[in-house]
């Protein structure tokens, strides 16, 4: 998939990506120092920030489709943010099913997918618990299940391990890799931790002062 | 036209002076008071103290007008005009400033106070440094209050006389005397343009740096606490002055009671309707608030001109031919529309911002507005919704300024209170004002109860 003209000016900072080819399979890592523009790139691609010049063309069975021309709700993207942003008043199960409901997935199909994800991610016993009482690792797994239940076109992982204790990061990385591989969802991982990149990424892109490059 | 321009010139100059003095004094006294607020212990002592300070600012203008008159008139001639307006504005606002700056002092300047303590700085020097540290917040509050005082209508309408008029009052006079819509619109544009110049200036940021309470004691000024609380107690006490005599008058006249009952129903209707409409407006805001321009408009300072809004409605709707209930419904709609920016700034914006991340996620997941509102916003923010509806009812209970433009005659308790104040019948005005505030207070409590009920239902 090709991203073109990702250009935006902020206060004293300019994001300027003329063309960027991302693998349409596996995990691509986007790395760079704080303030280099990583999060802004994700927010623009998700549609949370406007970028009129952007073009993001993907191949579909119906032909090429420019995701940037679609409203945010129709892009069928998914994201796991650093703080996971679960709905704290809902149970873990309802958090995951919310995404299915948003996509108007049939109830039976949603339940089938939920069961599969719950088994794969080991969150079956957590489904009835309110999100606000879950631990960091549990939240991460629920957020991942929520992102994948819709089988999105593209998944963004924004520093997904930074809120976890160092001891559980290794297992978390392995779990994320295996589930992303299983679902064959092209993924952009944003991280400045070399261990994340080494464990997960098949391609690495570096961002510095708003520009991308293949070299660190 | 020449006379109009002369009048505009004079009103603009008086208005500017009044707003500058009112906001400067409010901030100066409030800043001093902030060093007293921090001495109030957390818990019930703090809650009661802050409530006393916030009450004059949170209650409708009717409350502060009555209280100011009651505090001064028994002793001396009331200084109607620019001084009277300034007194009422300062009394209404200094408490809010004290509470806001007190909280900023606690959350922002912990580090400064700790370092000053370690370095052995004197108390006076530490207090001075803290005052300087609060300069951004103080300046922002000054500009905010400047706009509030510059565009004030209720207070100058009753206490302003010739020198205390604001542009809003001038619009009112132009429309009332000459039905000069063009002049009124021109005045509203001038006012809005002037206010716009200040619209970018309020950006208060509070850090989460909480200091140890023992260090806060180093900048606590007991005199500030006693003085600010004493003035607040006097304001509240002033609103009760003449109450027994007023009640006696009321009890001795069956006709008066019958009259007031009708107006009580009018007030009840207005409070309830404003509450419901505000709730509806806020639901709409949550559907639209994702648009940045919408947030900018609501959080900005350019509220619609109260008087002009009233007269535009007056020109568009044949209010004179309408029944009292229909008139009340129109007044309620207009009032709910006018208080929307204030309520949004007071609570609405934080409601939107606190859910920002979750709303982003919901949109990315493809959720529609209704699903987001039903599943994400309503269950988490129902308490705030009902609080806003309650406050809207409380404000509506004291509305005489807007209602007077469309009512034709006294159809609510607040309008009656204004008429009584105009005739210097302060005892009876006190009773009617309190009846009015109690009506709004009852709806406020009802909203709070409903909020708790809905919250438990959705839990």
Element (H, E) at A212: strand A211-213
Cα–Cα dist B122/B208, whole Å: 25
If pLDDT is split at 50, 70 and 90, which confidence band does B204 have?
very low
Residue in A72, A87, A103 closest to B363 by CB? A72
Q: Which residue of A has its CA nearest to B378?
A: A89
Cα–Cα dist B146/B18, whole Å: 9
Query: If DSSP states are collapsed to H, E and C, what string results for A140-168?
Result: HHHHHHHHHCCCCCEEEEECCCCCCCHHH
The answer to whether the CB atoms of A87 and B367 lie below 8 A apart is no
The answer to whether the CB atoms of A103 and B366 lie below 8 A apart is yes
Q: Which residue of A has its CA nearest to B360?
A: A48
Cα–Cα dist B15/A81, whole Å: 50
Residue to substitute from B287, B366, B375, interface A, most A β-carbons within 10 A: B366
B375's tokens? 């599943």
Give the burial class of A184: count Cβ atoms within 10 A of its Cβ; 0-12 exposed, 13-18 middle, 19 or more buried.
exposed
The answer to whether the CB atoms of A90 and B364 lie below 8 A apart is no
> 């069928």: which residue's tokens?
A76
Q: What is the largest CA-CA distance in chain A?
A: 51
- Mean pLDDT of the B7-20 span: 87
Q: What is the pTM of this model?
A: 0.80
Cα–Cα dist B244/B359, whole Å: 53
Spell out the domain ranges in chain B.
Answer: 1-241, 244-459
Predicted confidence at residue A80, as pLDDT, reads 92
Predicted confidence at residue B332, as pLDDT, reads 95
Q: Which residue of A has its CA nearest to B370?
A: A102
> 């987001």: which residue's tokens?
B372
Instruction: Kindly provide the ipTM of the predicted complex, given to two decimals.
Output: 0.87
Q: What is the CA radius of gyration of chain A?
A: 17
- Mean pLDDT of the B214-237 span: 83
Nearest CA-CA distance, residue A53 and chain B, Å: 20
Q: Where are the alpha helices (DSSP H) in B38-122?
A: 44-58, 61-72, 82-108, 110-119
Query: If DSSP states are collapsed to H, E and C, what string results for A19-79?
Result: EEECCCCCEEEEECCCCCCHHHHHHHHHCCCCCCCCEEEEEECCEEEEHHHCCHHHCCEEE
> 């693998």: which residue's tokens?
A23
B390's tokens? 């309650």
Predicted confidence at residue B208, as pLDDT, reads 44
Selected residue with higher pLDDT from B274 and B49: B274
Q: Which residues contact A10 (CB under 8 A, 6 or more apart)?
A: A40
Partners of A20 in the β-ladder: A3
Predicted confidence at residue B206, as pLDDT, reads 42
Q: What is the CA radius of gyration of chain B?
A: 23
Give the burial class of A79: count Cβ atoms within 10 A of its Cβ; 0-12 exposed, 13-18 middle, 19 or more buried.
buried
pLDDT tens-place string over residues A133-172: 999 889 999 999 999 999 999 999 998 888 788 878 888 8
Cβ-based contacts of A98 with chain B (< 8 Å): 362, 365, 367, 371, 375
Predicted confidence at residue B218, as pLDDT, reads 75
Residue to substitute from A47, A88, A89, interface B, most B β-carbons within 10 A: A89
Helix, strand, coil percent values for chain A (each to nearest 5): 40, 25, 35
pLDDT tens-place string over residues B206-221: 444 455 555 677 788 8
Which stretch, A142-151, B9-18, B315-324, B352-361, has highest mean pLDDT? A142-151
Cβ-based contacts of B376 with chain A (< 8 Å): 87
Residue in A74, A85, A101 closest to B361 by CB? A85
Phi, psi of B42 (to 5 degrees): -60, 150
Residue in B358, B361, B371 closest to A101 by CB? B371
- Residue B441 burial (CB count, 10 A): 17
Predicted confidence at residue B301, as pLDDT, reads 54
Nearest CA-CA distance, residue B109 and chain A, Å: 27
A137's tokens? 């690792």
Helices B324-343 and B292-299: crossing angle in degrees, nearest 10, is 100
Task: Report the percentage of chain B scoring pLDDT > 70.
Answer: 91
Cβ-based contacts of A72 with chain B (< 8 Å): 363-364
Residue in B357, B371, B458 closest to A81 by CB? B357
Residue in A81, A85, A102 closest to B371 by CB? A102
Residue to substitute from A85, A91, A142, interface B, most B β-carbons within 10 A: A85
- Mean pLDDT of the A113-132 span: 93
pLDDT tens-place string over residues A35-69: 888 889 999 999 988 899 999 998 888 889 999 99
- Mean pLDDT of the A202-216 span: 87
Cβ-based contacts of B365 with chain A (< 8 Å): 78, 98-99, 102-103, 146, 150
- Mean pLDDT of the B287-301 span: 65
One fold for B1-241 and B244-459: yes
Predicted confidence at residue B58, as pLDDT, reads 81
Predicted confidence at residue A42, as pLDDT, reads 92
Q: Give the burial string for B423-440 (b: 16+ CB within 10 Å, else e).
A: eebbbbbbbbbbbbbebb
- Residue B256 burial (CB count, 10 A): 15
Taking the Cβ of residue B457 and every Cβ of chain A, the question of whether any pair is shorter than 8 Å is answered with no
pLDDT at residue B2 is higher than 80? no
- Hey, is A190 helix, strand or coil? strand
- Domain range B244-459, CATH architecture: Orthogonal Bundle (1.10)
Cβ-based contacts of A76 with chain B (< 8 Å): 366
Nearest CA-CA distance, residue A17 and chain B, Å: 23
The contact set of A with B (CB < 8 A) is: 46-48, 72-79, 81, 83, 85, 87-90, 98-99, 101-103, 146, 150
Question: C-alpha B136: how far from its chain's center?
Answer: 22
Residue in B363, B380, B458 closest to A73 by CB? B363
CATH number of B1-241: 1.10.3720.10
Between A and B, how many residue pairs show a Cβ–Cβ distance under 8 A?
Answer: 59
Nearest CA-CA distance, residue A138 and chain B, Å: 18
The answer to whether the CB atoms of A102 and B357 lie below 8 A apart is no
The answer to whether the CB atoms of B379 and A89 lie below 8 A apart is yes
If pLDDT is split at 50, 70 and 90, which confidence band does B198 have?
low
Cβ-based contacts of A97 with chain B (< 8 Å): none
Q: Which residue of B has its CA nearest to A85?
A: B358
CA B90 vs CA B95, B301, B408: distances in Å:
9, 20, 32
Query: Which residue, among B49, B50, B57, has the nearest Cα to B89 in the 3D structure?
Result: B57
């Amino acid at each position: 998939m090709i991203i073109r003209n990702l250009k935006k000016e902020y206060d004293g900072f300019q994001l300027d990506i003329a063309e960027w080819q991302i693998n349409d399979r596996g995990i691509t890592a986007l790395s760079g120092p704080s303030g280099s523009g990583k999060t802004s790139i994700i927010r623009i691609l998700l549609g949370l920030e406007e970028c009129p010049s952007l073009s993001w063309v993907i191949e579909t069975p119906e032909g090429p489709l420019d995701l940037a021309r679609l409203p945010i709700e129709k892009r069928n993207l998914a994201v796991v943010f650093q703080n996971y942003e679960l709905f704290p008043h809902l149970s873990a199960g309802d958090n995951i099913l919310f995404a299915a409901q948003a996509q108007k997935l049939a109830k039976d199909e949603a339940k089938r997918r939920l069961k599969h994800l719950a088994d794969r991610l080991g969150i079956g016993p957590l489904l009835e618990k309110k999100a606000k009482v879950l631990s960091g690792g549990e939240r991460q797994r629920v957020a991942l299940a929520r992102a994948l239940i819709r089988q999105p076109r593209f998944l963004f992982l924004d520093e997904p391990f930074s809120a976890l204790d160092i001891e559980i990061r290794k297992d978390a990385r392995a779990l994320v890799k295996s589930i992303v591989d299983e679902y064959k969802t092209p993924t952009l991982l944003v991280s400045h931790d070399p261990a994340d990149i080494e464990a997960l990424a098949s391609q690495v892109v570096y961002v510095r002062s708003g520009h991308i490059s293949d070299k660190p | 036209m020449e006379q109009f321009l002369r009048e505009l010139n004079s009103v603009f100059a008086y208005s500017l002076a009044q707003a500058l003095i009112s906001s400067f004094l409010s901030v100066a006294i409030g800043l001093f008071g902030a060093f007293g607020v921090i001495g109030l212990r957390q818990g019930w002592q703090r809650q009661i103290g802050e409530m006393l300070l916030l009450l004059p600012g949170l209650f409708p203008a009717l409350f502060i007008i009555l209280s100011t008159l009651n505090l001064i008139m028994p002793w001396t001639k009331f200084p109607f005009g620019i001084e009277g307006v300034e007194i009422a504005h300062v009394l209404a606002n200094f408490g809010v400033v004290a509470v806001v700056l007190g909280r900023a002092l606690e959350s922002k300047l912990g580090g400064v106070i700790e370092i000053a303590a370690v370095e052995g700085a004197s108390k006076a020097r530490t207090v001075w440094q803290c005052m300087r540290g609060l300069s951004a917040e103080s300046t922002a509050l000054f500009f905010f209050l400047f706009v509030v005082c510059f565009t004030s209508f209720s207070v100058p309408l009753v206490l302003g006389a010739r020198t205390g008029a604001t542009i809003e009052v001038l619009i009112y006079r132009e429309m009332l005397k000459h039905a000069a819509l063009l002049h009124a619109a021109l005045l509203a544009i001038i006012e809005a343009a002037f206010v716009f110049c200040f619209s970018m200036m309020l950006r208060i940021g509070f850090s989460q740096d909480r200091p140890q309470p023992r260090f806060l004691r180093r900048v606590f000024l007991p005199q500030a606490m006693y003085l600010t609380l004493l003035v607040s107690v006097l304001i509240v006490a002033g609103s009760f002055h003449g109450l027994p005599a007023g009640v006696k008058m009321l009890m001795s006249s069956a006709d008066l009671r019958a009259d007031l009952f009708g107006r009580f129903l009018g007030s009840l209707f207005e409070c309830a309707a404003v509450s419901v409409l505000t709730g509806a407006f806020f639901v709409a805001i949550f559907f639209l608030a994702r648009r940045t321009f919408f947030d900018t408009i609501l959080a900005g300072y350019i509220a619609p001109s109260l008087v002009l809004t009233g007269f535009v409605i007056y020109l568009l709707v044949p209010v004179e031919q309408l029944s009292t209930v229909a008139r009340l419904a129109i007044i309620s709609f207009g009032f709910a529309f006018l208080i929307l920016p204030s309520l949004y700034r007071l609570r609405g914006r934080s409601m939107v911002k606190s859910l920002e991340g979750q709303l982003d996620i919901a949109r990315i997941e493809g959720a529609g507005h209704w699903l987001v509102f039903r599943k994400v916003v309503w269950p988490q923010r129902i308490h705030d919704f009902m609080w806003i509806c309650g406050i809207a009812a409380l404000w509506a209970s004291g509305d005489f300024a807007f209602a007077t433009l469309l009512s034709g005659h006294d159809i609510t308790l607040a309008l009656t209170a204004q008429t009584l104040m105009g005739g210097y019948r302060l005892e009876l005005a006190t009773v009617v004002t309190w009846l009015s505030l109690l009506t709004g207070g009852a709806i406020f409590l009802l909203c709070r109860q409903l909020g708790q009920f809905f919250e438990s239902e959705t839990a």
